[in-house]
Amino acid sequence: MANLETEIEVTKDRKLYNWMQYFWSNYSVVFAFIVLFIVASIASDHFLSPLNITNMLRQISVIGILAVGMTFVILIGGIDLSVGSVLALTGTIVMASQVDFGTSIFTAILFGLVAGALIGVINGVIITYGKIAAFITTLAMMTIARSTALYYADAGAIAGSNMDYRAIGNEYLFGIPIPVYIFAFVVVIAFILLEKTTFGRHIYAVGGNSSAAHLSAVPINKITIMTYMICGLTAAIGAVIETSRLNSVSTSSSGSMYELDAIAAVIIGGTKLTGGQGRIIGTVFGILILAILSNIMNLLNISPYIQGVVKGAIILVAVLLQKRS
């Protein structure tokens, strides 16, 4: 009534002010990114070179894609520690299909993606119907997936022979690496899912208050399982890019510790670990911040051994800032 009319009557600058306030509280990570970007461009001449930028973007694509999947899981208040190992296992499946079973590239990729999604579903089913904490379930899956990959390849690598497969990870289109397009595509799909669909609305509801969601006829088990499925699927997409880059998978080191970077990006991006709050845009900027940080430290010849300290500090600052608002 009167209230709605006042909403329209709000004066222009008031609106601008409110909008800015809204923007700041939701997208402070964007400002952090801009500041960092400017600092980086001043600190090193190489930073802004096209080669450096495209390389940087390609390097973050894999972790970026994992972080998108991780965003879904963290939004419902969960966590997935298994993505790094799932990347290794699905990568093994993709390479083994080509090398040991002689399937086409297309079929091999399909196997990998289906396997990734399936592992996610298994995680989700154990968490919902088995009522085991996500942390524990995915921790177990982390060791199971890694160990399966190691066992299959005797802890070694599987190298492919089909040179066409290398294109995915190495080719460019209009001067931009293919993985960057894949990353962008995944981001857009995730954005649409979260912002525009019933599924996305339900994710925020489950993460915000699962008992209220349950009593509002939200299928919480189904939603939970689907988010883990998405997370597993993104791990498999990451696996395809990663294995294609070298046309090989290393069962011992592929994807190792990727889960931590993915989680870090999501947190820096402003998604709350308790669920219900966060945006995919935040995650994208979270990953960009991590990327610029390690890139600039490399350009400035800072020892890689100390880089972890900086990364850790950034995560803490991000969480502290979140607590403030």
Partner 1 sequence: MILEMKRITKRFGSVIALDGVNLELAKGEAHALVGENGAGKSTLMKVLAGVHQPDSGEVILNGKSVDISSPAESQMLGIAIIHQELNLIPYLSVAENVFLGREPKNLGFVDYKKMRKDTKALLDQFGIELSPRSLVKDLSIGERQIVEILKALSLNPEILIMDEPTAVLTDKETEKLFELIDLLKQRNVSVIYISHRLPELKRVCERLTVLRDGKWIKTDVLEHFSEHDIANLMVGRELEDMYPPLPTKFGNEILRVEGLTQNPNFQDVSFTLKEGEIVGFAGLIGAGRSELATAIFGGDPADEGIVSLKGQQVNYKNPIQAVKGGFGFATEDRKQTGLILDMSIAQNITLPNLRKYQRVGFVNRKLEKADIQKQVKNLNIKLHSVNQPVKNLSGGNQQKVVLAKWLVANTEIFLFDEPTRGIDVGAKREIYHLISNLAKEGKGVIVISSELPELLGICNRILVMHNGRISGEFNHEEATEQQLMKKATGL
Q: Does 152 bind partner 1 (CB under 8 A)?
A: no
Determine how many CB atoms are found less than 10 A away from the CB of residue 236. 30
Smaller CB distance to partner 1: residue 177 or 207?
207
- Of the candidates 55, 58, 67, the one whose C-alpha atom is nearest the C-alpha of residue 244 is 58
* Shortest reach from residue 121's CB to partner 1, in Å: 19
Max CA pair span of the chain: 72
Q: Show the tokens assigned to 181.
A: 């397009």
- Number of residues near partner 1 (by CB under 8 A): 31
Site residues for partner 1, window 257-316 (CB under 8 A)?
A: 276-277
CB of 186 to partner 1, least distance (A): 18
Rounded least distance, CB 205 to partner 1, Å? 5
Shortest spacing between CB 273 and partner 1, in angstroms = 14
Element (H, E) at 158: strand 157-159
Rank residues 86 and 280 by Cβ distance to partner 1 and give the closer one.
Answer: 280
Least Å distance, CB 22 to partner 1, is 9
- Alpha-carbon distance of 109 to 98, in angstroms, equals 9
Q: Which is nearer to partner 1, 202 or 311 (CB)?
A: 202
Nearer to partner 1, 21 or 49 (CB): 21
Residues in the chain: 325
Q: Which is nearer to partner 1, 198 or 303 (CB)?
A: 198
**Residue 108 C-beta: closest distance to partner 1, Å:** 30
Which of residues 217 and 257 has its CB atom nearest to partner 1 in the complex?
Answer: 217
Q: Say how far apart CA 140 and CA 126 lie, in whole Å.
A: 11
Q: Which DSSP state fits 173?
A: E
Restricting to residues 1-60, which ones interact with partner 1 according to CB under 8 A? 1, 3-4, 6-7, 10, 14, 17-18, 21
Footprint of partner 1 on 183-242 (CB under 8 A)? 196-199, 201-202, 204-205, 208-209, 211-219
Min CB(211)–partner 1 separation in Å: 5
Secondary structure class of 156 (helix, strand, coil): coil
Count of CB atoms situated within 10 Å of the CB of 188: 11
* Neighbour count for residue 298 (Cβ, 10 Å): 15
Rounded to whole angstroms, the Cα distance separating 16 from 247 reads 51
Residue corresponding to tokens 């890694």: 146
196/308 with CB nearer partner 1: 196
**DSSP string spanning 250-310?**
ETTTTTTTHHHHHHHHHHHTT--TTSS---HHHHHHHHHHHHHHHHHHHHTT--HHHHHHH
Output the smallest distance, CB 225 to partner 1, in A: 15
Q: Does 173 bind partner 1 (CB under 8 A)?
A: no
Rounded CA separation 129/122 (Å)? 10
Nearer to partner 1, 6 or 303 (CB): 6
CA–CA separation, 179 and 250 (whole Å): 19
**Using CB under 8 A as the criterion, which residues of the chain lie in contact with partner 1 when the complex forms?**
1, 3-4, 6-7, 10, 14, 17-18, 21, 196-199, 201-202, 204-205, 208-209, 211-219, 276-277
